[in-house]
Structure 1
Amino acid sequence: RPGQVLCSPLVLSEEQTSFLKTLYEPCNRFFEEVNDPNWNDKNEKVQAKTLQGLKELKMFGLQVPENLGGLGLTDTQYARMVEILGWHDLAVGVTLGAHQSSSFKGILLFGDKHQKEKYLPDLASGRSLAAFCLTEPTSGSDAASIWTMAEVSQCGKFYTLNGSKMWISNGGVADVFTVFAKTKVKDVTTGEEHGKISAFIVEKEFEGVTSGPPEEKMGIKASSTTSVSFDNVNVPAENVLGGFGNGFKVTMNVLNNSRFGTVSTLAGTMRRVIEKAANHAAKQKQFGKEIRNYGIIQDKLAHMAMYHCVTESMAYMISGNMDMKVSDFHLEAAISKIFASEASWEVTDECIQILGGAGYMKKAGVECIMRDLRIFRILEGTNDILQIFVALAGLQHAGAQLQELQHTLEDPLNNSSVLFTELGLRAKRIIWIPTGISLDGVVSGHLLDTAGLVTKCVDLLSEAVEHLLLKFGTQVTHHQFHLKRIADAAIDIYAMGVVLSRATQSLNHNLPSALHEKLLCESWCYKASERVRWNLKAVKASSWNCYYQNMKSITDEVVRTGGVLYPRPMGF
């Protein structure tokens, strides 16, 4: 949908932009002058003066409506504000993000009038903190497999909640929990009982709610992470969130709505890290020249800038889509979270490499960032699971189209024009001749050659997806080696689209950065299109099928023996 990907939505009015500026500068200055990320990391908690200052700045309720005590920011305004958190302190960012981007987001999206009026004012002011309780010891990526149970009382006035959750952000400091539990539903036809997930608003003051000790973590140490247990907790029936049995819907909507904030936060982190690397490259001399003059360093810095450009473009594209009330953005949200978390890790790793030994030292301030970043490839859905989700969502759509085409062609004599059109498109895709998709008039005239790379990649993806569906049918879900490459190609194509859109807007408006953004766009699309071709070739080539089977066989042996199969070289 070009209107959803190639639009660079300008969704802020002058009034909204002006209001954002009045918030941005004081918040940025506060983090520079008051917050101490090193103290937070060392003491594994956020300083009291930081929390108090954030409350005064109303940072705990950025998107809560003004009549309920918040700032009422749009998604685009929110995206720009949380960049500050990524720049200055990711642990504080996780504390605030867990509080409002996920934990009480369900109340914001699905709460009834009573629930919103009861809980949101205190949550927006920071008088109460919130936590999102989904993950369990036996339920991580598979949200549907949770064991926590909620049984309705005979009078129907409350539910009794039993179970435990683990790795809960804000778990030790939260006053309000959004808890997901299985509830029994009786089939009126068979009388059998089934478990459906429901969401509940649970208060810390309810008897039977306890938090475990703080977890010892690699990073984001200042963010409270604990287990939370529920022992015969009576939850009023009016605290069911989003309707009985709609917990899975609440979960998915909350995660889809929260991911763009994570992407924007990581764009802020990358901007800071690139600044550190650029300043070092400009000052540090080796062999008589500043290291910025050497091709190896130039390659690193240029790729870091491209990663940031794509990540920031994704964050603003999706937040803009959301403000435009685009109904379906779940794929883009998943793609952006995958890309941002991988890209920010790569950028930070390269920054340390450019700084050399200094980058490895605590004083440089990068090692803490790297420790903090590692969690983002896991939280809000692990990247591995999200890649499979991206691939299967696309395959499901394509499969439906193929099925519809099959029904049409069951009567080939009366549908000959459809038949010849489809055969022609298929033949062109196989030998990489453009099928007629064009972005002429959509992107800047200065970027038409680059846009051609995108449309060719779309054709290649179409052909590869069709190949998989025809070869494996419904069994394609079990071929994750192939699915990963389909997802990687889709991610690269979406990334190409958003930077094309951004560069087009900059060129059309003659922005000072337009030529620089054109360079970033052209370079990114060239590299990305090469990766797309390579990944999609690997999907279809028989030699790669042999490789995939080898990977499976090696894994089976390693797991069977509990480690490396062959003996140590010294024989003991």
Structure 2
Amino acid sequence: MNVSIKPRGVAWLFEATSPDAVFSPEKLTDEHRLIRRTADEFVAHEVMPAVDRLESKDWDFVRGLVRKCGDLGLIGTDVPEQFDGLALDKVSSLIVSESVGRLPSWAVTFGGQTGLSITPVLCFGTPEQKQKYLPRLVSGEMIGAYALSETGSGSDALGARCRAVRQQDGSFILSGEKMWITNGGFADVFTVFAKVHDDGPSAGGDPGGKFTAFLVERAFPGVSTGREEHKLGLHGSSTVPLNLQEVRLPADAVLGKIGKGHKVAFNVLNYGRFKLAAMCSGGARFVIAESAKYASERRQFGRTLGEFGAIRYKLAEMTAREYAVESMLFRIAGLLDSAIAGRDDAAAALSALEEFAVEASIVKVAGSEMLDYVVDENV
């Protein structure tokens, strides 16, 4: 009897793996190639020519780009069809993330919509929450944002001081401030993390509160955002503080379970790390192509730069490092798809994200360090 064994997280540390069990770009299907072509053409024709408009913070224009992405199906590649997604695999999502990585500002905006806004609702939302938010997030009609960080709790997310005081009727009064919110300047709905208390407001942060996720709409009274941050880079992405002044939330605004906000926060970030690494890979590939083109055209001492050994070495080293990260990404995507195979429910996706959290973290570090190396060598 043949028994199908699901892959396990970090098994690569202590188990031999058959080459046939590793997903690689050579195994891409015609459908995968069509998705890549669609994403590449969208970025080349719609995004790259509009850098100035993005960096001038024309958020109406950015919303329009997100909507066009939705029309092409690029936002909901791995979202079930019942919520207007394409119900495709994680490899497809990886491919799209690589394509959008060509322009970092746009990649951040796109990632905030797909990885940080859709994933929490898809994995932890109630049927009613999914039906209310997912179709509009997938289409790009609604923009989402993820509000976890505070001035005193960045890496220590569980140290949040934002408070949600539960009322006798089951509703909550939410107060606090969140910082560095991607897409925050034009988002319609925020995934906000706060500590739930049953005893009314008190001074300071009470460590006894139950860390919980909420879905908070901009239209709710008391919700506002501050001025755009003046960043060193990523000028075409929105980064703002989120102010919450006694915002009354209905009982059904809770995302997941009260006191289990850490499961929402950390699993969403697991998938976000994987997608961010894919964007780093796509960005590096674009930069390498531009540098190779320049090296073939620029002439010094009677020959092109590409004919000099030192330049050839630089190009080869950059390509090898990018290829290594790309290989890691496709293997992880294959592992996620194998873990989910035969199921399309949120529990399967969540289980896979938890299982391969270490791999997602490793490839994110490898991807960002590789991109840093590639950009530095190009300069």
Length-normalised TM-score, structure 1? 0.57
Answering whether residue 134 of structure 2 is matched by residue 120 of structure 1, we say: yes
Match 2:100 to one of 82, 85, 90: 85
Closer, same or farther in 2 for the Cα pair 1:37/1:317, shift >3 Å?
farther
Match 2:363 to one of 326, 329, 336: 336
Q: Give ranges in structure 1 of 5+ residues lacking alignment.
A: 187-191, 353-572
1:163 deviates by 0.3
Higher relative contact order (CA 8 A, sep 6+): 2
1:107 deviates by 0.8
Closer, same or farther in 2 for the Cα pair 1:43/1:25, shift >3 Å?
same
**In structure 2, what is the Cα distance between the partners aligned to 1:31 and 1:208?**
37
1:4 deviates by 8.5
Partner of 1:70: 85
SS, match of residue 194 in structure 1:
coil
Which range is displaced more, 109-118 or 30-39? 30-39
Match 2:36 to one of 24, 46, 51: 24
1:23 deviates by 3.1
Code of the residue aligned with 1:336 in structure 2: it is: V
SS, match of residue 120 in structure 2:
helix
Partner of 1:98: 112
Assess if the C-alpha contact under 8 Å between 1:185 and 1:194 holds in 2.
no
Code of the residue aligned with 1:299 in structure 2: it is: Y
Aligned residue runs from structure 1 range 353-372, under 5 A: none
Answering whether residue 288 of structure 2 is matched by residue 261 of structure 1, we say: no
Percent sequence identity is: 35
Answering whether residue 330 of structure 2 is matched by residue 316 of structure 1, we say: yes
Assess if the C-alpha contact under 8 Å between 2:66 and 2:110 holds in 1.
no
SS, match of residue 71 in structure 1:
coil
Answering whether residue 265 of structure 2 is matched by residue 251 of structure 1, we say: yes
**In structure 2, what is the Cα distance between the partners aligned to 1:245 and 1:214?**
31
Match 1:57 to one of 63, 72, 78: 72
Code of the residue aligned with 1:337 in structure 2: it is: K
Match 1:163 to one of 150, 167, 176: 176
SS, match of residue 100 in structure 2:
helix
1:463-505 per-residue CA deviation (whole Å, 9 max, x = no partner) reads xxxxxxxxxxxxxxxxxxxxxxxxxxxxxxxxxxxxxxxxxxx
1:387-425 per-residue CA deviation (whole Å, 9 max, x = no partner) reads xxxxxxxxxxxxxxxxxxxxxxxxxxxxxxxxxxxxxxx
Assess if the C-alpha contact under 8 Å between 2:94 and 2:333 holds in 1.
yes
Assess if the C-alpha contact under 8 Å between 1:65 and 1:72 holds in 2.
yes
Answering whether residue 43 of structure 2 is matched by residue 38 of structure 1, we say: no
Match 2:162 to one of 140, 143, 148: 148
**In structure 2, what is the Cα distance between the partners aligned to 1:288 and 1:299?**
20
SS, match of residue 53 in structure 2:
helix
Code of the residue aligned with 2:187 in structure 1: it is: A
1:212 deviates by 0.9
Assess if the C-alpha contact under 8 Å between 1:40 and 1:221 holds in 2.
no
Closer, same or farther in 2 for the Cα pair 1:128/1:41, shift >3 Å?
closer
Answering whether residue 236 of structure 2 is matched by residue 222 of structure 1, we say: yes
Assess if the C-alpha contact under 8 Å between 2:78 and 2:92 holds in 1.
no
Name whichever structure is richer in helix by fraction: 1
**In structure 1, what is the Cα distance between the partners aligned to 2:18 and 2:235?**
39
Code of the residue aligned with 1:124 in structure 2: it is: V
Assess if the C-alpha contact under 8 Å between 1:164 and 1:229 holds in 2.
yes
SS, match of residue 64 in structure 1:
coil
Closer, same or farther in 2 for the Cα pair 1:303/1:122, shift >3 Å?
same
Q: Give ranges in structure 2 of 5+ residues lacking alignment.
A: 1-10, 200-205, 340-351
Assess if the C-alpha contact under 8 Å between 2:188 and 2:219 holds in 1.
yes
Assess if the C-alpha contact under 8 Å between 1:137 and 1:165 holds in 2.
yes
1:44 deviates by 2.5
Assess if the C-alpha contact under 8 Å between 2:35 and 2:95 holds in 1.
no
1:112 deviates by 1.7
1:115 deviates by 1.2
Which range is displaced more, 36-45 or 103-112? 36-45
Partner of 1:274: 288
Assess if the C-alpha contact under 8 Å between 1:184 and 1:193 holds in 2.
no
Assess if the C-alpha contact under 8 Å between 1:262 and 1:337 holds in 2.
yes
1:5 deviates by 6.7
Length-normalised TM-score, structure 2? 0.84
Assess if the C-alpha contact under 8 Å between 2:284 and 2:371 holds in 1.
yes
1:193 deviates by 8.2
Assess if the C-alpha contact under 8 Å between 1:152 and 1:160 holds in 2.
yes
Partner of 2:348: none
Code of the residue aligned with 1:271 in structure 2: it is: R
1:185 deviates by 7.3
Closer, same or farther in 2 for the Cα pair 1:334/1:115, shift >3 Å?
same
1:127-168 per-residue CA deviation (whole Å, 9 max, x = no partner) reads 11100000111111111111000111022x211100010110
* Count of aligned positions: 344
Partner of 2:376: 349
SS, match of residue 221 in structure 1:
coil
1:10 deviates by 3.4
Assess if the C-alpha contact under 8 Å between 1:4 and 1:321 holds in 2.
no
SS, match of residue 342 in structure 1:
helix
